Chains A and B, each alone.
Chain A
Amino acid sequence: QVQLVDSGGGEAQPGRSLRLSCAASGFTFSSFGIHWVRQAPGKGLEWVAGVSYDGTNKYYADSVKGRFTISRDFSKNTVWLQMNSLRAEDTAVYYCARDDGYNYGFDYWGQGTLVTVSS
């Protein structure tokens, strides 16, 4: 069955870095785009970044552009989100999600990993 397992969250000080990972299984990894969506405590959902099925196209929200980098490793069936220059406002649960392949949004989601940025 399709499974996305996100991990790598934790605490970081402002200005530091963290790397999140999304391990995929149960489907042909190279056929689907993967995205990151976050949710600050008690707030709504915010799309953060996405990478196309073949890794050639990457997209970012303005709020993270220049600080976050999304990438994918086809040998490991994993998508990474490298988060640099972290800010307090990056504190959130981060979910990875699979683009359904028809550009109709997200059909599967990971369980989420909490990132806390605090001094």
Chain B
Amino acid sequence: DIQMTQSPSSLSASVGDRVTITCRASQGIRNDLGWYQQKPGKAPKRLIYAASSLQSGVPSRFSGSGSGTEFTLTISSLQPEDFATYFCLHHFSYPWTFGQGTKVEIK
């Protein structure tokens, strides 16, 4: 099974900060990776698919990059509504697996 290692597990940042979250796959997964945002008590919401494609309706301050084993989610200028937990998910082969999550908190 492919393992996804996500870092950091949490971070504190201020409004306007640039934030970067990383996922590393235990083996190459091409670009078969998405990024999801989850707020407390709510279902996750997809932000990025195919590693770097922006989901329709998602603000352009979110971007994704990477291929193979290293992937990055970047929020260029953190907004108050972005404080949430973020997960990566690979769908290269079954079983699909999520990263452990990154909780973005207000500094």
- A→B interface (CB under 8 Å): 35, 37, 44-47, 50, 59-62, 95, 97, 100, 103-107, 109-112
> Of B43, B87, B91, which is within 8 A of A111 by CB?
B43
B 1-26 contacts with A by CB, 8 A: 1
Count of interface residues, chain B, beta-carbon cutoff 8 Å: 24
CB closest chain-B residue, reference A60: B95
Complex formed: what's the CA distance from A18 to B31 in Å? Answer: 36
A105 B87 Cβ-Cβ under 8 A: no
Complex formed: what's the CA distance from A110 to B87 in Å? Answer: 17
Residue numbers in B under 8 Å from A97 (CB-CB): 43
Complex formed: what's the CA distance from A62 to B97 in Å? Answer: 11
A46 B98 Cβ-Cβ under 8 A: yes
A47 B95 Cβ-Cβ under 8 A: yes
Complex formed: what's the CA distance from A61 to B93 in Å? Answer: 12
Q: Decide yes or no: A59 and B100 within 8 Å by CB, A44-B87, A104-B34 being known contacts.
A: no
B 31-80 contacts with A by CB, 8 A: 32, 34, 36, 38, 43-46, 49-50, 53, 55
Complex formed: what's the CA distance from A97 to B46 in Å? Answer: 11
Q: Show 13 residue pairs from A and B whose CB-CB distance is below 8 angstroms, ordered by the A residue.
A: A44-B100, A45-B89, A47-B98, A62-B95, A97-B43, A103-B32, A104-B50, A106-B36, A106-B89, A107-B55, A109-B43, A111-B43, A112-B43
B97 A47 Cβ-Cβ under 8 A: yes
Q: Decide yes or no: A105 and B101 within 8 Å by CB, A62-B1, A95-B43, A112-B43 being known contacts.
A: no
Taking the nearest CB of chain A, how far is it from the CB of B41, in angstroms? 9
> Of B36, B49, B95, which is within 8 A of A104 by CB?
B49
Residue numbers in B under 8 Å from A106 (CB-CB): 34, 36, 44, 46, 89
